[in-house]
Amino acid sequence: MTEVLKGVLVALTALTMAGCGGGGGSSGTTGTPGVFQAQGVAQGTTALGNSDLEIILETGEFYNFVTAAGIALTVDHGTLLESGAGIAANLMEFNVATNVASSGAMTGLFIAQSAITGTIVLNINQYSPYTGTNVVSPYQYTTFSANYLTSYNTAANLATLTGTYSGVYTYGGAPVTLTLSATGAISGTSTNCAINGTATPRASGKNVFNVSLTLTGANCTPAGVGSASGIAVLNPENGLTRLYVAGLNATGSNGFFWVGTRQ
């Protein structure tokens, strides 16, 4: 175990203990009770130069999109603990191209509604010729830095979401088109796949939508999702309007992770 991974585990242990005992309450957060100080949508880059969109909800639940040219590469999901200016979480990272999920952890620092930085460490499941099975072997990590977007503090409005969005699910992968109505109805198609669902503004009053989706057909991408629920965020980027959608299945082991551009 390297010093990087030890540091992540120590931070997670300390934050968990702070949240579970003593006179400090059981939420593990600081600041106003029930309000997660690190919440918001933040846009930035990873150490490899890919785009990064951090979506941190008022509950501490987060979705981290890493993209290139408007195509999702990976999506991290978990629930953060915060202590002072520090954050930490266990997470699952979904590789969109391979439809493989890996466990990991994140630690970072934030300035509320200003900036956030973090390190993500993954446990990679790899095939071992010695055991003939997948084993958790060499881990990898990445870093990111992002600035908060003021648009998060505007209440979600279905009128802003109305339209048709198109994009590919992954490089060289299935094209996906979603149309969202003024009532929040979602309808769409992929190759031999129908996508239907709903979008509703979150009760938090922030600019994030709750979504539920059902994928039906012989060749849906990714395979095996069926139904998924999660969030959607609308984000202007480089003169384009992009819709980020992340939905997990009931067990959290698979999901629909996609970025579309408004037509």
| Last residue within a domain, chosen from 151, 171, 194 | 151
Task: Check: CB of residue 26 under 8 Å from CB of residue 16.
Answer: no
Least confident among 16-20, 86-90, 140-144, 151-155: 16-20
Residues 95 and 194 in one domain: no
Tell me the one-letter amino acid at 56. I
What's residue 52's pLDDT? 97
Residues 105 and 166 in one domain: no
DSSP 9: H
Q: Predicted confidence band at 3 (pLDDT cuts at 50, 70, 90)?
A: very low
- In this prediction, what percent of the chain has a pLDDT beyond 70? 81
Rounded Cα–Cα distance for residues 217 and 193 (Å): 4
Rounded Cα–Cα distance for residues 209 and 157 (Å): 9
Residues 135 and 164 in one domain: no
Residue ranges making up the domain that contains 113: 3-151
pTM for the model stands at 0.85
Residues 51 and 142 in one domain: yes
Least confident among 21-25, 34-38, 65-69, 97-101: 21-25
Question: How many CB atoms neighbour CB 120 within 10 A?
Answer: 24
Residues 19 and 147 in one domain: yes
Residues 200-259 pLDDT 10s: 999 999 999 999 999 999 889 898 899 999 999 999 998 999 999 999 999 999 999 999
Residues 141 and 181 in one domain: no
Residues 9-50 pLDDT 10s: 444 444 433 433 333 333 334 444 458 999 999 999 999 999
Residues 137 and 164 in one domain: no
What's residue 136's pLDDT? 62
Residues 68 and 118 in one domain: yes
Residues 30 and 134 in one domain: yes
Distances (CA, A) of 215 to 195, 197, 226: 5, 9, 5
Residues 213 and 137 in one domain: no
Kindly report the CATH number assigned to the domain that includes residue 86: 2.40.128
Segments of 6-152 assigned E as strands: 40-46, 51-56, 61-68, 71-79, 81-83, 86-95, 100-111, 115-128, 133-148
Domain count, the chain: 2
Residues 142 and 21 in one domain: yes
2: Cβ–Cβ under 8 A, 6 or more apart, which residues?
none
| Last residue within a domain, chosen from 119, 151, 183 | 151
Residues 171 and 60 in one domain: no
